[in-house]
Amino acid sequence: MNIALLGYGNMGKEIERLAAEKNIVVKKIFTIENNLRAMAINKETLKDVDVCIDFSVPTAVVENIKAVSSFGKNIVVGTTGWYDKMKDVEKIVEKNKIGFLYSPNFSLGMNIFFQILYSTSHIFDKFDCYDPAIHETHHRNKVDSPSGTALTLGQIVLSQIRRKNKMYQETAHKQLKSDELHISSTRVGNVVGQHHVLFDSEADSIELIHTAKNRAGFAMGALIAAQFLKGKKGIYTMKDVITSF
């Protein structure tokens, strides 16, 4: 199958490097230089492309989705930091009847971690002596904060622990309310991505940690997602990909 890459930074390059292993051909690469405001996306440049994969920047991704879907092509989105525009994107996808798959984290390990957190949080719901918090660390060039993955982890905790109702994403220059879940971030050096979920009590603390060692896991997950999405219509996430095996 053939793909087009939208964004040729760390992730775009890693996907290009690994594509051949999955018998996937990279037909076209859109970069900031050749694709400002999605102007390079048209019928001709998407010719023979089965699925597009976007790992660009939050300020470009929605324009890219709009342009790609207007030419009836399916798209996998790894870019984070745009989820406040989800309703608009859903409308674009439905109007153009394309296949759309997004995930804040394409790594197999993190998707297993999501499932572990569901069941763990469900247990902690019963023991209110434990207070949860989430912390993530990424390389200093990451533009959005907190990470999309940290927000997904936060949603999981909120969905399972009834005493927590909202996320608090700022530096806490105040006492947190008992129903607030603190999500904090550090930006430093070259860290690929680390997510901690902490459950703290007077007696002890329990920590779940996921550490990404390199970008290959994300890139492989995005390629597998593109294979899954070929020929499909509708909105999907990595959960659909993983449960399809």
Ligand X SMILES: NC(=O)c1ccc[n+]([C@@H]2O[C@H](COP(=O)([O-])OP(=O)(O)OC[C@H]3O[C@@H](n4cnc5c(N)ncnc54)[C@H](OP(=O)(O)O)[C@@H]3O)[C@@H](O)[C@H]2O)c1
Q: Interface residues with ligand X (CB under 6 A)?
A: 6-12, 30-32, 35-36, 38, 55-57, 60, 78-81, 103-106, 142, 218
Rank residues 78 and 154 by Cβ distance to ligand X and give the closer one. 78
Rank residues 164 and 210 by Cβ distance to ligand X and give the closer one. 210
Are residues 37 and 62 in contact, defined by beta-carbon separation less than 8 angstroms? Answer: no
Rank residues 40 and 158 by Cβ distance to ligand X and give the closer one. 40
Q: Which residue is catalytic, options 138, 164, 182, 195?
A: 138
Cα separation, 54 vs 75, in Å, equals 7
Q: What are phi and psi of 168, to 5 degrees?
A: -115, 110
To the nearest whole angstrom, how small is the minimum distance from the Cβ of residue 197 to ligand X?
18
Pairing state between β 205-211 and 194-200:
antiparallel
Cα separation, 214 vs 192, in Å, equals 6
Q: Which residue is catalytic, options 13, 27, 142, 233?
A: 142
Query: Three-state DSSP class for 83?
Result: helix
Residue nearest to ligand X (CB): 9
Cα separation, 21 vs 237, in Å, equals 23
To the nearest whole angstrom, how small is the minimum distance from the Cβ of residue 60 to ligand X?
3
Are residues 124 and 199 in contact, defined by beta-carbon separation less than 8 angstroms? Answer: yes
Rank residues 113 and 199 by Cβ distance to ligand X and give the closer one. 113
Cα separation, 126 vs 116, in Å, equals 17
Tokens representing 222 are: 């995005």
To the nearest whole angstrom, how small is the minimum distance from the Cβ of residue 74 to ligand X?
17
To the nearest whole angstrom, how small is the minimum distance from the Cβ of residue 130 to ligand X?
29
In the annotation, is 138 catalytic?
yes
In the annotation, is 135 catalytic?
no
Cα separation, 86 vs 119, in Å, equals 27
Active-site positions read 138, 142
